Amino acid sequence: MNITFNGKAKQLAANTSIQELLDQLRLDCLQVVVEHNRNIVPRQRLAEVILNDGDTLEVIHFVGGG
């Protein structure tokens, strides 16, 4: 299936959860904000939400410093 990930097309295995995608990308779930189809997903739900064909996902990854 295909999703739009940070504005670009991305191919994914069916039934991938957001948490699994973050793990594949080696992104620490505590350092990201995830917007799924324009709604921000609470951290504790990242493993529950299964991505569907055509979904839009924005992952904002923060780095330290300020």
Partner 1 sequence: MQIIVNEQPQQAKANESAGEVRDRIKPDADLMIVNGFPAQADTELRPDDKLVLIQRGEQPDADELDALLTARHTPGVHEKVKQTTIGIAGVGGLGSAIAIALARTGIGHLIIADFDLVEPSNLNRQQYFLDQLGLPKVYALRDTLARINPQVRVTACHLKLTPDNIELVFGHAQILLEAFDVAEQKAMLIENFAARFPDRPMVAASGMAGFGPANTVVTRKVTNNLYLCGDGCTAAQPGTGLMAPRVGVAAHHQANAALRLLLGENPVPENE
Note the residues at the interface with partner 1 (CB under 8 A): 28, 30-33, 35, 38, 40, 42-43, 58, 60-66
Least distance from C-beta 35 to partner 1, angstroms? 5
Least distance from C-beta 14 to partner 1, angstroms? 26
Q: Which residue has the tokens 């069916």?
A: 14
CA 61 to the chain's CA centroid: 10
* Nearest to partner 1 of 14, 65 (CB atom): 65
Least distance from C-beta 43 to partner 1, angstroms? 6
Element (H, E) at 32: strand 32-36
Report in angstroms the alpha-carbon separations of 66 from 28, 29, 62. Answer: 19, 20, 11
